[in-house]
Amino acid sequence: MSAMVIGKLLGLVFKVQLMRIIGEVGNGYYTMAYTLFTPIYTFTVIGLPATVARMIASYTAQGRFHDIRKLKVISTKLFRFLGLLSFLVIAGFAWVFTNVFMNTPPAFLSVLLIAPVALLGIMSAVYRGYFEGMRNMTPTAMSEIIEIVIKLIFSLGLAYLVYQMGVREFNLSGTLFGQAIESSERLEIQLAQYTTAAAIVGVAISTMGGLLFLWLTYRIKGDGITREELVNSPPAARTPFIFNKLIKYAIPISLGSLILNASSVIDLVTVYNRIEHALNVGYDRIMNSYGSYIPADIRVDELPNFFFGVYGMVLLLGSLIPDFVRMIGKSALINIAAVWAEGDKYNLKRKIEAVTRLTAFLAMPAGVGLFVLANPILSLLFPGMAGGVAIAAPVLEIFSVSVIFMSLVIPLFNVFQAIGRADLPLKFMALGASLKLICNFILVGIPQINLKGAPIGTILCYFIILILCFTAIRNIVKIKLDYIGTLIKPAVAAISCGFAAKLVLGAMENAALNRLIPILISVLTAVIIYAVSLIILRAISSDDIISLPKGEIISKTLAKYKIIRYNGKN
């Protein structure tokens, strides 16, 4: 888990530094490349490995180790085929997508060059699913760290190199790669398409590095299955049977993964076009609101991409907490599946409450913190992009609310997958995504609302889904959760820490301090208030501590002094 956290933090560092190099316009191209890439990648890389992991966990419990080995062979061939198909679809559709659908020709190179990332990423996914099914999370975590380190070196390095080449040529001849440029402001805008494309080349190199590490790990260390286990294992089922079972489980989970990410996909697909519409019908109104924040030399036809890049700043910070939560849900999936298979309703209830409560402990203060510190955090991360920050900050404040609902939904979806009801997330997200699509189409296209309409739609989407999830757990799983201990107490503690952060930040507003100091003091104060609030409310249970190293001893000690509630052994 710690390695995964390190990987996510390094990923944030990469994205922030990249955005500083490529700017709002370049980030628009970068985000557009992921508009085509994300649905394909999500369907394969998120859904299929989860299916492989679930099948392996089931086979392990049954002692069917020959089936595990055969599943590895079958899934490898399937993933290679899907990777090649994804590469061909993205590469073949890149020109039509950028020139016809999005009307942004400068994004073509970025979209084209992201095709190899899909191929290599999908090939890596089979190893990750295999190792995770064997309850070995280390190779996945290490490969992600290797990828991000290579990305930091090559992606940022190539983007910076291309940027310097462009600036040097302009200073010498007033041109950029042979094309005359009117001013240094236009240079920044024109150069963005090339720096972004160079960065995506670095992403492809890093994905190849991650794949190579996973392949070498498997070749050198194997999968941990012993000779004795193979000898005592029954013969493997026939290949068509395993393949059909893989597809049967994979389709609903993959579709569920796609629809689980439908909110971000809908944002990527609709925000650009609806902002373009808002500019067409209310250009003067938008310019009265944002004109002073927009680069002077940007053309009218480039404005949608500029706003798209600004919204990418919001998505960068808004997606950070849900990404961490996915790690919690993924690790809980196998444990919940085992308890469900045993028919142990008591421990099933405890584990569902524990993973939901742990998610609330993380997501609620983070969402409140983003709301309170949106402008200071954006200003700290992007000091040279004051215009983009001024536009993004109020949008991030709204988006911060959706972060809480989005995060809480993720482990509940994992619960449904673990008990064999992967159809429920699919149905719930279909409804939520439909509402999100309608909201985006209507609200983002209104000039007075513009970008703020997207996070409003996200809030509505995930709030409805969260209610449906809890209803299904009560009516279908036949479990009544403790909502006061699981949700209400963490929410009260989070609101308390938010007020504390706001008061401290306001008190230092006029102080002549480095931009980082007020944020650090506000966050530190909020953390202390949050921890004290949780203890006063007795919101922490032994189930939240017991999975930690020496967790049983720690939980008994804390319970002895009435700091937490002790529920006994799992």
pLDDT digits over 174-213, tens only?
Answer: 999 888 888 888 888 999 999 999 999 999 999 999 999 9
* Percent of the chain whose pLDDT exceeds 70: 92
Q: Alpha-carbon torsion 284, 24, 261, 115, what sign? A: positive
- Tell which wins on pLDDT, 308 or 563: 308
Q: What is the pTM of this model?
A: 0.83
Point out the least confidently predicted range of 254-263, 393-402, 468-477, 549-558.
549-558
Q: How far apart are the first and last CA of the chain?
A: 20
pLDDT tens, position by position, 278-335: 999 999 999 998 988 998 788 888 899 999 999 999 999 998 888 878 766 666 666 7
pLDDT of amino acid 66 = 86
> Residue 13 pLDDT > 50, yes or no?
yes
The C-alpha atoms of residue 185 and residue 363 are separated, in whole angstroms, by: 40
The C-alpha atoms of residue 443 and residue 448 are separated, in whole angstroms, by: 9
R_g (Cα) of the chain, nearest Å: 24
Under DSSP, the state recorded for 200 is: H
Cα–Cα separations (whole angstroms), residue 199 to 25, 49, 79, 117, 355: 14, 27, 26, 12, 37
Closest CA to 291 of 387, 188, 395: 387
User: E-strand spans in 285-412?
Assistant: none
The C-alpha atoms of residue 493 and residue 369 are separated, in whole angstroms, by: 12
Under DSSP, the state recorded for 179 is: E
- Both structure tokens of 458: 């996200």
The C-alpha atoms of residue 194 and residue 196 are separated, in whole angstroms, by: 5
Q: What is the mean predicted confidence (pLDDT) over 412-439? A: 87
Q: How many CB atoms lie within 10 A of CB 284?
A: 9
Contact 200, 115 (CB under 8 A): no
- Tell which wins on pLDDT, 343 or 410: 410
The C-alpha atoms of residue 413 and residue 325 are separated, in whole angstroms, by: 12
Contact 274, 441 (CB under 8 A): yes
pLDDT tens, position by position, 67-85: 888 888 888 888 889 899 9
The C-alpha atoms of residue 366 and residue 427 are separated, in whole angstroms, by: 28
Contact 461, 435 (CB under 8 A): yes
The C-alpha atoms of residue 111 and residue 108 are separated, in whole angstroms, by: 5
Within 13 Å of residue 65, how many CA atoms lie on the same side as its CB? 13
Quick one: residue 420, left, alpha or beta (phi over 0 = left, psi -120 to 50 = alpha)? Answer: left
The C-alpha atoms of residue 518 and residue 521 are separated, in whole angstroms, by: 5
Closest CA to 80 of 21, 40, 121, 132: 121
Q: φ and ψ at 177, to 5 degrees?
A: 50, 45
Instruction: Specify the residue for token string 């319970």.
Output: 559
Residues contacting residue 178 through CB under 8 Å, at least 6 positions apart? none
Under DSSP, the state recorded for 512 is: -
Closest CA to 202 of 151, 161, 160: 151
Q: What is the mean predicted confidence (pLDDT) over 467-476? A: 92
